[in-house]
A = this chain, B = another copy of it.
Amino acid sequence: MDSYRIAILGAGNVATHIARHLHFKGHRLCAVWSPTEAHSRRLVEELVAGCPSEPGGGLLATADLNELPGDADFYIMTLADRAVSEVLAALPECGGIWLHTAGALPMEVFEAYRDAFGVLYPLQSMSREVAIDMETVPFLVEGSSPEVAEKIVQLAGSLSNRVRLSNWSQRLRIHLAAVFANNFSNHMLHIAKELCSREGLDPEWLVPLLEETFRKAVSVGPAAAQTGPALRDDRETMEKHLALLKDDSEWAKLYTFISRDIAAMAKRK
**How near does chain B come to A175, taking the closest CB pair, in angstroms?**
8
Inter-chain CA distance A32–B171, complex, in Å, is: 52
- Residue A227 contacts which of B126, B181, B219, B226 (CB distance < 8 angstroms)? B126
**Which segment, of A42-50, A111-119, A146-154, A200-208, faces chain B?**
A200-208
Shortest Cβ distance from residue A127 to the other chain B in the assembled complex, whole angstroms: 6
Q: Which of B81, B123, B170 contacts A199 (CB 8 A)?
A: B170
Residue total for A at the interface (Cβ-Cβ under 8 A): 93
Contact residues in B for A214 (Cβ distance below 8 Å): 210-211, 213-214
In the assembled complex, the Cα of A185 lies from the Cα of B212 at a distance in Å of: 12
- Cross-interface CB contact of A183 among B13, B199, B212, B227, cutoff 8 Å: B227
As a 0/1 sequence over residues 60 to 93 of chain A, the CB contacts with chain B under 8 angstroms (1 = contact) are 0000000000000000000011100000000000
Q: Is A56 an interface residue (CB 8 A)?
A: no
B178 touches A209 (CB 8 A): yes
Residue among A170, A179, A192, A264 with most chain B CB within 10 A: A179
CA distance A18 to B249 in the complex (A): 36
B265 and A258 form a contact (CB under 8 A): no
**Chain A: interface secondary structure?**
helix
Contact A201:B173 (CB < 8 A) given known A125-B213, A182-B213, A187-B261: yes
A245 CB, nearest partner CB in chain B, Å: 7
Give the segment of A2-10, A21-29, A129-137 that binds chain B.
A129-137
| Contact between B237 and A217, CB atoms less than 8 A apart | no
Task: List 19 additional contacts besides A178-B209, A181-B193, A181-B210; criterion CB under 8 Å.
Answer: A81-B234, A104-B237, A133-B208, A138-B205, A176-B245, A182-B213, A182-B227, A183-B230, A184-B188, A187-B222, A187-B226, A187-B262, A188-B188, A189-B217, A191-B261, A193-B221, A193-B223, A210-B214, A250-B261
Q: Which residues of A contact B (CB under 8 A)?
A: 13, 80-82, 104, 123-127, 129-130, 132-133, 136-138, 162, 164, 170, 172-193, 195-196, 199, 201, 203, 205-214, 216-232, 234, 236-237, 240-241, 244-245, 250-251, 253-255, 257-258, 260-262, 264-265
